């Protein structure tokens, strides 16, 4: 199927690169499949207080104290954080999450990073300010931008995330074997389709310097988001970013790995110990990157 799509777009591009770019954009912005609740997630999923906020399905657990926001990625859903939810509840946190538009139990259409910013802001108004924000994959740029634009979070954990906004177009074109010409047309279609033709979005929505303590977790065998994106995020964010490398987990298993969950939540907990211990770096983190 990928070869057929690639051949079709390349053929159309011979006659009209702009039309091929628009068609590529339509493919780029559609998840094509919704993630279902897995058996291992069902108990936590059904125990949540589900509400509709800003036209999306949102979930909340706990007593409302010490809220932590969980932001999922492409073709995913909030229930993928079941292991995190369990651990956070054990420690007295109140996890909050949502199914993105067109994902999970939320209706479409898909929205841009600005739409996610609006949703996260609405959740902050309802549940925040957040003790922490944990995001995975495409949820990482959404979470980083929302916090940069004023959403309150004491600490953030970014897992297997995208740092360069243009990476989303580049990898899509690379997977389909599309060349630079269609890549440029796809970028123009993204600019026109979501951002009123604004060509500054590639810098605006990429990782930037920040002051909120940030833990970056990535896997050396991630076949969806290149591990180099973690290094880019570390460099762009600055001295408040810390790195936890992992191995053998890939892009999806990392989210349910017990050791990753333990380290991520421990990083959030450390903010409560800073005043007593005078340290803001969890033991064992690699700060050499």
H runs (alpha helix) in 177-289: 180-195, 201-204, 228-237, 258-269, 274-277
Q: Using the 8-state DSSP alphabet, how is residue 54 labeled?
A: T
Q: How many CB atoms lie within 10 A of CB 30?
A: 12
Q: How many Cβ atoms from other residues are within 10 Å of residue 150's Cβ?
A: 9
Q: Looking at residue 14, what is its pLDDT? A: 63
The bridge status of strand 241-246 relative to strand 94-98 is unpaired
- Under the banding of pLDDT at 50, 70 and 90, the label for residue 33 is confident
pLDDT band at 272 (very low <50, low <70, confident <90, very high): low
Domains detected in the chain: 1-30+166-204 (no CATH), 44-164+209-273 (3.40.50.1820)
CA distance 39 to 30: 26
Model confidence at 286: pLDDT above 90? no
pLDDT of 177 reads: 87
Give yes or no for residue 287 having a pLDDT over 50: no
Q: Is the pLDDT of residue 93 over 80?
A: yes
β-bridge pairing 56-60 and 49-53: antiparallel
Closest to 187 (Cα-Cα) out of 204, 172, 177, 175: 172
Tens digit of each residue's pLDDT (9 = 90 or more) over 177-212: 888 999 999 999 999 999 999 999 999 999 999 999
pLDDT higher than 90, residue 176: no
């Amino acid at each position: 199927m990928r070869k057929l799509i690639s051949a079709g777009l390349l053929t159309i591009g011979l006659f009209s690169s702009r039309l091929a770019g628009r068609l590529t954009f339509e493919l780029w912005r559609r998840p094509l499949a919704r993630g279902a609740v897995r058996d291992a997630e069902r108990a936590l999923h059904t125990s949540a207080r589900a509400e509709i906020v800003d036209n999306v399905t949102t979930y909340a657990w706990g007593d409302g104290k010490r809220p932590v926001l969980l932001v999922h990625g492409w073709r995913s859903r909030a229930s993928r954080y079941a292991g995190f939810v369990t651990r956070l509840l054990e420690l007295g946190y109140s996890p909050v999450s949502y199914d993105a538009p067109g994902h999970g139990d939320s209706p479409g259409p898909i929205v841009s990073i600005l739409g996610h910013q609006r949703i996260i802001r609405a959740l902050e108004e309802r549940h925040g300010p957040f003790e922490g924000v944990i995001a995975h994959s495409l949820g990482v740029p959404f979470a980083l931008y929302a916090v940069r634009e004023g959403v309150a979070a004491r600490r953030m954990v970014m897992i297997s995330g995208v740092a360069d906004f243009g990476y989303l177009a580049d990898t899509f074109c690379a997977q389909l074997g599309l060349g630079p010409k269609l890549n440029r047309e796809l970028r123009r279609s993204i600019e026109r389709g979501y951002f009123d033709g604004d060509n500054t979005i590639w810098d605006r929505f990429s990782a930037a310097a920040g002051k909120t303590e940030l833990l970056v977790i990535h896997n050396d065998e991630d076949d969806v988001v290149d591990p180099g994106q973690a290094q880019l995020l570390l460099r762009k964010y600055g001295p408040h970013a810390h790195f936890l490398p992992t191995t053998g987990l890939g892009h999806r298993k990392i989210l349910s790995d017990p050791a990753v969950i333990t380290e991520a939540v421990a990083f959030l907990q450390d903010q409560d110990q800073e005043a007593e211990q005078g340290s803001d770096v969890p033991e064992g983190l690699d700060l050499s990157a």
